[in-house]
Amino acid sequence: MKVYKRAILPIGFKANGVASGIKKFGKLDLALFFSEMPAKASCLFTTNTMQAAPVTVCKSNLNRSKYFRAIIANSGNANCFTSYAGIEDAKDCLEALAEGLSIKGKEALIASTGIIGKRLPLGKIRRAIPGLIAGLSREGIKKASSAILTTDTFTKQIFSRFVIGKRQVGIYAVAKGAGMIAPDMATMLCFIFTDANITQSALDKALKASVVDSFNCITVDGCMSTNDSVILLANSAAGNQLIKSGRNFKLFSFALRKVCTELAKLIVRDAEGASKFIQIHVNKAASFKEARKIALNIANSNLVKTAIYGEDPNFGRIVASVGATGIKVKQEDLKMSVSSLKKKDIYVKVTLNRGRRQAIVYTSDLTPEYIKINAQYN
């Protein structure tokens, strides 16, 4: 298996990105991902109860159709807390897209990211759709990957290639991250494309397993977004023997998990205002859940984050974060080590002596730059 940080779409996929005018200054803000053949979809969405309109519409379409052809995604406007009108806006958007692509509206999915509480500028999107479709190409993924960004400073994408039988299979994933990043279903937009031939149940199983220790193990600010979506399309174009279970399923799952983990780390590396990339490794826990809970509580502690920003070792704040979870770790069992704080990459190891499970959570530090970015977002 090979893994690259590159924009390579698997067979049968095309993409494009344009500036529709949702964002100012002619910035790319509207992306389209297209599969030439019907693709199975597997999706995971935010657990935030204030879910955005595109999440509602995706869930509805996933119930109405078994195969999908396209995903349209915009940045600059989250289409959230926009009431029933927002849902109609998302549906209208998909209808306009379906007409242009000569597919059915229920065969397309939609995602949005940006400011909450404002209506989508539907006119602008409608006017942009013909050009968006006309420009679809394999190379268009570069523009598409830029068009989904908000405060991100770089595009985040991972491509993996591996062999099933005698066929090459590819998985490409692209994400936007930056802020309002806290786990419990990937707190960002992520689109994954594979040309693998795989059953629906195997696809769902592989995706669920892949987010557990990737997107659900990262946090920037502990703030869960209303729009988080991971959408995975599999179009079978690789022509491999159908993946169901066994060795081939393991291979596909391993590759998908690797892609998700690397992408999750890229999101943390580009966290708003971050000056450090922090890996928190909790081991000898009674369960993965327990290890993850403690790691996340350390990762979300403003006091731990500021201490690391200040390169000021402060074990006490880690101790307090462990205890604040309510998990009854004995003080005499708790061991900690922190790598040199002078470096950009920080490794925090916490040992509990309660069992054999572990979890790794990735996070960033809390800096004056994070405050600057978020004090003037509008």
Can you tell me which of 205, 281, 327, 355 binds a copy of itself, judged by CB under 8 A? 327
Distance, in Å, from the CA atom of 89 to the CA atom of 71, rounded to the nearest integer, reads 15
Q: Does 364 bind a copy of itself (CB under 8 A)?
A: no
By C-alpha distance, which of 165, 364, 367, 188 is closest to 276?
Answer: 364
> Is the CA virtual torsion 103, 114, 194, 49 positive or negative?
negative
Q: How far is the CB of 127 from a copy of itself (least distance, A)?
A: 26
Query: Where does this chain touch a copy of itself (CB under 8 A) — which range of 256-264, 282-290, 301-309, 353-361?
Result: 301-309
Q: What is the rounded distance in angstroms from the CA atom of residue 376 to the CA atom of residue 291?
A: 35
Q: Is 110 in contact with 58 (CB distance < 8 Å)?
A: yes
Give min distance, CB of 315 to a copy of itself, in A: 5
Contact 318, 336 (CB under 8 A): yes
Do 264 and 214 meet the contact criterion of CB atoms below 8 Å apart? yes
Q: Choose, by CB under 8 A, the member of 135, 323, 349, 355 that binds a copy of itself.
A: 323
- Residue 48 in the binding site for a copy of itself (CB under 8 A): yes
Residue count (the chain): 378
- Strand ranges, E, within 130-228: 156-164, 167-176, 189-194, 218-219
315 binds a copy of itself (CB under 8 A): yes
Burial 93-105 (b: 16+ CB within 10 A, else e): bbebbbebbebbb
Q: Which of residues 204-243 bind a copy of itself (CB under 8 A)?
A: 221-226
Percent helix, strand and coil across the chain, each to the nearest 5: 35, 30, 35
Q: Give the orientation angle of helix 288-299 with respect to helix 302-309, to 10 degrees.
A: 60
C-beta closer to a copy of itself: residue 92 or 184: 184
89 binds a copy of itself (CB under 8 A): no
Of 20 and 48, CB closest to a copy of itself: 48
- Token pair 């999101």 in the structure block, residue: 267
Which region, judged by CB under 8 A, interacts with a copy of itself, from 101-109, 127-135, 201-209, 325-333? 325-333
Segment lying near a copy of itself (by CB under 8 A), choices 113-121, 153-161, 238-246, 344-352? 113-121
CB of 61 to a copy of itself, least distance (A): 20
Cβ atoms of residues 264 and 215 within 8 Å = yes
In which residue are the tokens 């199975």 written?
40
Rounded Cα–Cα distance for residues 201 and 198 (Å): 8
CB of 175 to a copy of itself, least distance (A): 19
Q: Is 47 a catalytic residue?
A: no
Using CB under 8 A, pick the residue from 62, 287, 319, 349 that binds a copy of itself.
319
Q: Which of 56, 113, 187, 194 is catalytic?
A: 187
Q: Taking CB under 8 A as the criterion, which residues in 168-197 touch a copy of itself?
A: 179-180, 182
**How far, in Å, CA of 234 to CA of 197, rounded?**
7
Q: Which is nearer to a copy of itself, 47 or 201 (CB)?
A: 47
Contact between 334 and a copy of itself by CB under 8 A: the answer reads yes
Structure tokens at 361: 């959570």
Q: Does 313 bind a copy of itself (CB under 8 A)?
A: yes
Give 9's DSSP letter.
P
One of 137, 253, 287, 314 touching a copy of itself (CB under 8 A): 314
- Asked if 279 touches a copy of itself (CB under 8 A), the answer is no
Cα 113 to Cα 119, 190, 232, distances in angstroms: 12, 11, 18
Nearer to a copy of itself, 39 or 334 (CB): 334
Check binding of 325 to a copy of itself (CB under 8 A): yes
Residue 342 touches a copy of itself, criterion: CB under 8 A: no
> Cα 363–269–56 angle (5° rounding)?
75
Interface with a copy of itself (CB under 8 A), residue from 19, 78, 173, 233: 78
Residue 153 binds to a copy of itself (criterion: CB under 8 A):
no
Binding positions for a copy of itself, rule: CB under 8 A: 47-51, 78, 80-81, 83, 115-117, 179-180, 182, 221-226, 300-303, 306-307, 309-317, 319-329, 331-332, 334, 366-368, 370-372, 374-378
Q: Catalytic site residues? A: 187
